[in-house]
A and B are shown apart, each in its own frame.
Chain A
């Protein structure tokens, strides 16, 4: 481990912040928190309403220790306030929209002011620098470009640090490999499973990774394991760094790993992380496992107050051997809800259910089977055939099947295989139905 990167670097993009004294950080955070709470209270009806209900005025929030008095937000708020209900800025000041999947058919969107883009770019600059990238680097971005924050987020950071940036977007593996080998790419950004797939494909093509200039990769958008890190590092001969982010908060770069590979540093001057007990909603101390909650303190477009990520992990505040003082979050340990991440796309079973009930004659008896075949996630949707949808013509049944596939693709953004199964073959359960079989080892 740490082979190629450690030789040439131990760089920190913004040492004044990344290695800040924690007391000074607390002061900075408190200052920004006071400002953002006032901004939210004055401009976002939902925040005002919730704070009024708790009897809290912006003046009551003096330091980050007062965070616990503030109300939570959740993905459902973004859905209910879709598209612009949570904007704290004037619409004319919004310069970008990014989005991700909601729990139902409608996506959730987030609005960014130029300031927010700058903040996000700063976070991603720190992320790439921590992975050893600088103006001499060639960075291939194989995250999807578009509403999904992965592509543009990494792109902005790579451009900011002055690297040669290759906006490949996702897919087209042969061309990815051509660029990787011909352009002297030093860093790659993609999902960890795609990195594995690239490595395996190189292997099949008999391309020796030691011939490449590739040194490191920043991998995120889906949960992965130490075991996968080992495989990626061995296959590609690189250092593999974990990164974390979400559209609601900014995008990739909310937290990032350094050379120590011992947890992801949270960009605490822009977001405050908390761990809460998901049942009691009470904050938990550093080191304890619980639900990760973020409050953005420098965004102005759609600042989020105590946003519940539903990701389960632990935070640690001990100083890192890399010199950074920013709190580290451990690898994600699971979810408090039923969200799945399939090929980097967030998928909720409820979205699939919504698609199915919208197709003529389809009963809401379904099962999602998620697997990982040759480093690529697969999603199979088993649907029971009902008398109503059944037809003596194979063509008509196939048409229904393709209609379901198309709708899932357009609503969820993932290509699924649909299998029609006999009636009553999907087990019925009392109470909450089991809808998902996840065979991936993570």
Chain B
């Protein structure tokens, strides 16, 4: 129930390609809640959480982008030293690997919002729940 849809798009690594994609989303009233970019010499992958992922997907596809959705977990991590470290140590103990993580543009109260892309999302959900690590649902995320 805590699966949140992340969109990712393929971008060529050249000037203006990120501007183009963000402008496209903005022009269609879609808000970027979180954003992360991974790049190589000649291409990059832009990952983001949108206020409306279905609309975003449609817009991007029709503009000719290669897009896919990935399920991620959005967690509230205590905004204090080792807040994230504790969670990562827990995941290591449970043998869940993190493929990547990034944080939201905004935070929620005293918590930082961290997006996790993990090897086993169901197990990660269970472990987070058992350890009382707060997670946000799709609806909660979109309402941010």
Contact = CB atoms under 8 A, between A and B. Distances in A.
Interface of A: 385-387, 390-395, 397-398, 419-425
B113 to A, nearest CB: 19
Given A391-B8, A394-B45, A422-B66, 14 more contacts: A386-B66, A390-B8, A391-B45, A392-B8, A392-B117, A393-B100, A419-B42, A420-B42, A420-B43, A421-B12, A422-B64, A423-B10, A423-B65, A424-B64
A391 B12 contact: no
A405 to B, nearest CB: 13
Given A397-B43, A397-B45, A390 B10 contact: yes
B45 A423 contact: no
Contact of B38 (A385, A390, A394, A424): A394
7 contacts: A391-B8, A392-B45, A393-B99, A394-B44, A398-B40, A420-B10, A422-B64
B68 A387 contact: yes
A425 B66 CA distance: 12
A421 B41 CA distance: 12
Contacts of B10: 385, 390, 397, 420, 422-423
Contact of A387 (B11, B38, B66): B66
Contacts of B100: 393
Contacts of A423: 10, 64-66
B65 A422 contact: yes
Given A391-B68, A392-B117, A422 B99 contact: no
Contacts of B44: 394
B70 interface: yes
B12 A392 contact: no
Given A387-B67, A392-B117, A398-B40, A425 B12 contact: yes
A392 B70 contact: yes
B6 to A, nearest CB: 7
Interface residues of B, number: 22
A424 B64 CA distance: 7
A392 B12 CA distance: 14
Contacts of B40: 394, 397-398
A148 B51 CA distance: 59
Interface in B68-107: 68, 70, 99-100
Nearest to B38: A394
Contacts of A419: 42-43
A390 B64 contact: no
Contacts of A385: 10, 43, 66
A395 B45 CA distance: 11
Interface string B7-22: 0101110000000000
A392 B72 CA distance: 11
B47 A392 contact: yes
A421 B43 CA distance: 7
A395 B8 CA distance: 14
A422 to B, nearest CB: 5
A395 B119 CA distance: 14
A392 B68 contact: yes
A183 B139 CA distance: 78
A89 to B, nearest CB: 51
A394 B40 CA distance: 8
B11 A392 contact: no
Nearest to B69: A392
Nearest to B36: A392
Of listed B10, B40, B43, B100, residue having the most chain A CB within 10 A: B10
Query: A-B pairs with the 6 shortest C-beta distances?
Result: A392-B8, A394-B38, A390-B66, A385-B10, A392-B70, A420-B43
A423 B66 CA distance: 7
Contacts of B65: 422-423
Contacts of B117: 392-393
Contacts of A387: 66-68
Nearest to B42: A419
A393 B100 CA distance: 8
Interface in B11-62: 11-12, 38-40, 42-45, 47
Contacts of B12: 421-422, 425
A424 B45 CA distance: 17
A419 B44 CA distance: 12
Nearest to A392: B8
A393 B36 CA distance: 12
Nearest to A389: B66
Contacts of B99: 393, 395
Nearest to B68: A390
